Each structure stands twice: as structure tokens, then as C-alpha cells.
Copies of this chain bind each other. A is one copy, B any other.
């Protein structure tokens, strides 16, 4: 079945995620979890130890396929997401991505000047990020129609924040300074990154990704007007670029902390918006109307509550969205390494149990 036929087929685990993205009725609310392939799983930690570094794992298609599949063996998740990192593009551009334990990503050659920016150029994703495309192809074969596969990229603003030498704990002051002091150079960088993200996601689509997601982790930390100019503008270009593909895939945008921009984000023409845990699904749905599906948004901290409280919060999240199609259950941010997998199993099972009749919970 191609994706259009999948969406048209009766709802089940194999297609309820794609049907919800298309705002079609589903047999129960689909659920996947940001960072579902991750350190909270002992089998992930074992594979990671076998691989070496985090980047070694990302760059090994067999092992990336293995960790992508691991959570699907434990939980009745309704989508797989490519195991990779949001910062593969800057690494392919030669910036030298690596991870400092407990401190997050770093680049060995961050951008230090406008000249550094102007030396950058387009890449060929099948060449320079071939390991990602190989993983996408291998995961699709391994999934064999069980659930759809999500491909993804970091957003231009988020990539730029890291590439300019910023660390999240300094508020990415280098990126903001460049935007304010040399806005034309920043726009050149963001424009190039948008083109590369389009190429990269188009290649993932061609390799088999059935849904595409752009993670704008840091856009929401910008002042209101700057978010529109430096983040949303380029998200819109990406959505536009991906609509022109021969077989477009649904695109989900996730800007953490950008609740105030939700309606403008829906105007990009994307198919879905991810919400962080501070948003109200009900109020968000009123804002976006029937323009987009909504993904979210249980607080990742809720997975540390006792099972009774956790079940209750899942029910409240479903009731907050209310009845009717277009809801994809997820956390409002990635699952953290300290979570007991049994707690996630409870969430997934509760979503499917309660999601059959969400109106009864309101």
C-alpha cells in the first residue's frame, strides 16, 4: 500500500497515526513518544554501549534500526521515529558534532564569523548523510508495515543556535547577537539552512519516511517579533518546499514554548503542530480550528507520578483535546532517562483504552 491507500484503509495500528494527521476518524487515539528510543530503555543502553559514542550509534544504520525498533517491541506505539539527532546537518557541514555527557551537543568547529557562514554551501544528503537514508530504508524494511515511520530535522533557527557556538545554558547569546547586529548575515545562514533542511527531509521522504517533523527546540526562547522573523519564516519556507515534492508527506512543526504563535504556525500550511506540556489542547484547538492536527502534550514529569495519578493525567489530556479527529497523543517534550519503562507502558495502554471514547471523559 502507498501512503494514500494507507490513509484510506480502515483505522488500525498500521495507519491511525497517518489518519489522525489527516484529521480522519480513528479507532483509537494514536500515540508515539518523543525520544521513545532512548536511555530509559535498558536494551537501548546495551546497544549504545556496543556502538560506542552516541554519534557512532546514529551513523550505524543496523544499530540505529535496532534502537528504533526497540520501543515498538515493548509498547503498542503507533509510529516509529528514525533514531538520529537534530544536529546531523551541521555535522555534515563539517562542524564536528559530538556530545559531552550530561551537557548536550557541542561542535568542535562552530561558526565564529560571517566569513565562516559564507563558506558554507548546500550538501547532497544521499552522499553526506547517507547513513541517515540507509537507516530510513532499513527501518522501513524492518517495520514491514507495522506502523508508519517519522523522519525529522532540527529547524534552521535551532541549528543556527548550536552552529554559532551557543550552549543552551547561555540562552544562545551568539545567535541573538548575530541576528541583531548583522541581520543580513543571519538571514543568509537561515536561508541556506532552510534549503538544506528541505533537501534533507525530501531525501528522507524518498528513502521511505512517511511523515516529517521539524523540531524547533529554541525558537520559543526568542522575543515575539524575532520568532516570526528568524524562526517561523524559515519553518514556513520548509513547509512550502516540502509541499512541492512529487509525493508530499505530512509535516509536523514543533516549536517548544511558542504557544503564542500557534495560529501563525498553522498558517504555514503544515499538517500538524506539536504542543509542549504548558499548552492547553482545548485552547490550542480553538486557535487553530480545523487547519491542523495537534500532537501532545502530557508533562514528561508526569511519568514520575504514581500509576493512579498518571492514568488520571492521561485521561485529562485526552479530555482536554475532546472528541473528534486530529489528536496524536505524545508527551510535551522528550522522555527522560530516569523513567521506568512500565510507566510508559501504562501511558500507551491508557491512551488506547481511553482514546476510544474520549468524549466520555470530558
Contacts and interface: CB of A to CB of B under 8 A. Distances in A.
A223 interface: yes
Which of A176, A301, A304 neighbours the largest number of chain B CB atoms within 10 Å of its CB?
A301
A304 B222 contact: no
Contacts of A279: 224, 260
Interface in A245-301: 257, 259-260, 277-280, 283, 297, 299, 301
Interface string A287-330: 00000000001010110111001100100100010000000000
B280 A173 contact: no
A177 interface: yes
A354 B279 CA distance: 35
A181 interface: yes
A220 B173 CA distance: 22
A224 B177 contact: no
Residue from A226, A316, A332 having most chain B Cβ neighbours under 10 A: A226
Interface string A213-247: 00000001111111100000000000000000000
Contacts of A173: 301, 304
Contacts of A280: 224-225, 260
Nearest to A171: B301
A212 to B, nearest CB: 26
B309 A278 contact: no
Nearest to A305: B180
B224 A305 contact: no
Given A257-B257, A283-B260, A301-B176, A277 B309 contact: no
Nearest to A177: B304
Given A173-B301, A222-B278, A304-B173, A313 B180 contact: yes
Nearest to A220: B278
A181 B306 contact: yes
A309 B176 CA distance: 11
A314 to B, nearest CB: 12
Nearest to A181: B306
B305 A278 contact: no
B305 A177 contact: yes
A135 B261 CA distance: 43
A305 B223 contact: no
Nearest to A275: B224
A309 B181 contact: yes
Contacts of A259: 259-260
A259 B297 CA distance: 17
A187 to B, nearest CB: 15
Contacts of A171: 301
Given A259-B260, A306-B181, A176 B223 contact: no
A221 B278 contact: yes
Contact of A180 (B180, B225, B283, B309): B309
A302 B227 CA distance: 14
- A-B pairs, 9 with minimum CB distance: A180-B305, A224-B280, A180-B309, A176-B301, A223-B299, A181-B306, A223-B277, A259-B260, A173-B301
5 contacts: A222-B299, A224-B320, A259-B259, A260-B280, A260-B283
Given A173-B304, A177-B305, A222-B278, 11 more contacts: A176-B302, A180-B302, A180-B313, A181-B306, A181-B309, A222-B299, A223-B299, A223-B302, A224-B320, A260-B260, A260-B279
